[in-house]
Structure 1
Amino acid sequence: MSFSIVLDNLLYLLLAGWPQGALGGLALTLVLSVLSAFLSAVLGLGFGVLLVMAPAVIRYFLTALLGFLRAIPIIMLIFWFAFLLPVVLAVNPPKLLTVVLALSCIGGAYLGHSVAAGLGSIAAGQWGAGLALGFTRWQVLWQLILPQALPRMMPSFVNQWVSLVKDTSLAYIISVQEFLYVARQIDGKTTGAFSTEIYLFIGIVYFCICMGLTLFARRLEPVLQRAGGKANSLA
């Protein structure tokens, strides 16, 4: 098996037309992944906190919304953001923004329940101890409960981030030149048929990225556990 087709087109696979043209390829996949992971983490944290702290009416509405987002396919949400928003709101967002928003909304929906479960796993006595120290309920959450709960949430965050890396490949449906889209371009122009070498290379790269995320999370977990232990000792 020869990987000459990969080596001959390696720069295009990594960057697409950049710097003369738009950024694409693996670089664009990484950009989409990082932005989506950050926004989904922010949304997930916000959703999870509201599921625990908000009044009952808001919790019921939010639970229904998150259930809806988790139930629909990501590809459908990308289509909605890309083609429905211009019709309904008379706005025409960039394609990259529509992909990031779609991935972040669904990722945040999944993480919201994980965050709520992580917060709920902390013993109720921790809340009482924090309130007895004179903290408000929100101060107890941010200073005592959340630092202890974060290590427990980490596997869910990592799993979701790994999923987001793979889900960026769905951007091809609206012609965003991410990694897989560029690979298919090269495959079509050079072989006119299925190229085992290109798609094997794509699979290896995705594996390395996802494994790197997993190893990073394992290195980060002891740091979060130490922070959680300090918060527990304060209580």
Structure 2
Amino acid sequence: MNLDLSFYNWDMFSTYVVRGFFFSVQLTVVATLGGIILGTTLALMRLSGRRWLATPATFYVNMMRSIPLVMVILWFFLLIPMIIGQSIGAEFSAYITFIAFEGAFFSEIMRAGIQAIPRGQVFAGQALGMTYAQNMRLVILPQALRNMLPVLLTQTIVLFQDTSLVYAIGAYDLFKGLDIAGKIYGRPVEAYLMAAFVYFFICFVLSYLVKHLQRKTAIVR
């Protein structure tokens, strides 16, 4: 097998890859922020002690964590247009799917972080007259977020890898851009090798930064 290195040129990247790369990054950022917000809400519902809140939150988290992401992507892409009566597009469907799916995983991370905070701090907040919401917002959640930051970032790296699955619904991500370039230039092997390298390089660098951050937070604690 002879590799054609001329395939790797700026015209190819600027025409086919850059657009998909920015969408993959944007999807990762939006899904992370939305997933953390949804996950924190689900975690607080499960820890509220109120059955009417904890039960649906527990069912949602367990259901989402038990289904392959590609199936959820296809479900949202096919079912939402049937429900609302109009197409929402592959990209917008991907945003909704990833927030809904990742929220379940971020929920477990946040729940573990909240439960790791010593109960004495909860009682101290109550002794100061704080409500449950004030205690969580001012005392518990800031500490939980700091402690769980390396784990949250690790999940974000996994999320970035999973963005390649939106290829199944035709969204124009990094992988699809390289796939199209490979077909047009007649060099699919070179395209897939480049896709593997780009994903590996980005995830390797981010993993190194997360490990460095984890060592720093361990020293602080």
Shorter-chain TM range is 0.7 to 0.9
CA offset digits 1:171-195 (Å, max 9, x no partner): 111111111111111212222x641
Alpha-carbon offset, residue 214 of structure 1: 3.6
> Which residue is 2:196 aligned to?
203
Deviates more, 1:103-112 or 1:53-62: 53-62
CA offset digits 1:191-227 (Å, max 9, x no partner): 2x641x322322222233324434554676658997x
> Which residue is 2:14 aligned to?
11
> Which residue is 1:44 aligned to?
39
Local SS of the residue matching 2:8? helix
Distance 1:66 1:204, change over 3 A: same
> Is 2:163 aligned against 1:148?
no
Alpha-carbon offset, residue 53 of structure 1: 2.2
Local SS of the residue matching 1:92? coil
> Which residue is 1:168 aligned to?
163
Distance, in Å, in 1 between the alignment partners of 2:87 and 2:219 is: 44
Distance, in Å, in 1 between the alignment partners of 2:118 and 2:30 is: 34
> Which residue is 2:65 aligned to?
70
Alpha-carbon offset, residue 141 of structure 1: 1.1
Equivalent residues of 2:20, 2:173 under 8 A apart: yes
2:175 alignment partner, one of 180, 183, 190: 180
> Which residue is 2:56 aligned to?
61
Equivalent residues of 2:20, 2:177 under 8 A apart: yes
- Unaligned residue ranges in structure 2 (runs of 5+): none
Please list, as runs of the form range in 1=range in 2, the aligned pairs for 1:16-165 lying within 5 A after superposition.
24-53=19-48, 55-165=50-160
Q: Could you tell me the TM-score, scaled by structure 1's length? A: 0.82
One-letter amino acid matched to 2:5: F
Alpha-carbon offset, residue 54 of structure 1: 5.3
Task: Give percent identity, aligned residues only.
Answer: 26
- Unaligned residue ranges in structure 1 (runs of 5+): 16-23, 230-235
Distance, in Å, in 2 between the alignment partners of 1:89 and 1:141 is: 36
Q: Could you tell me the TM-score, scaled by structure 2's length? A: 0.87
One-letter amino acid matched to 1:73: P
Alpha-carbon offset, residue 85 of structure 1: 1.3
Distance 1:225 1:148, change over 3 A: farther
Distance, in Å, in 2 between the alignment partners of 1:170 and 1:161 is: 15
Distance, in Å, in 1 between the alignment partners of 2:212 and 2:178 is: 32
Equivalent residues of 1:44, 1:108 under 8 A apart: yes
CA offset digits 1:58-83 (Å, max 9, x no partner): 10221011111111111111111111
Local SS of the residue matching 1:96? helix
Local SS of the residue matching 1:9? helix
Distance, in Å, in 1 between the alignment partners of 2:44 and 2:213 is: 22
Distance, in Å, in 2 between the alignment partners of 1:97 and 1:57 is: 31
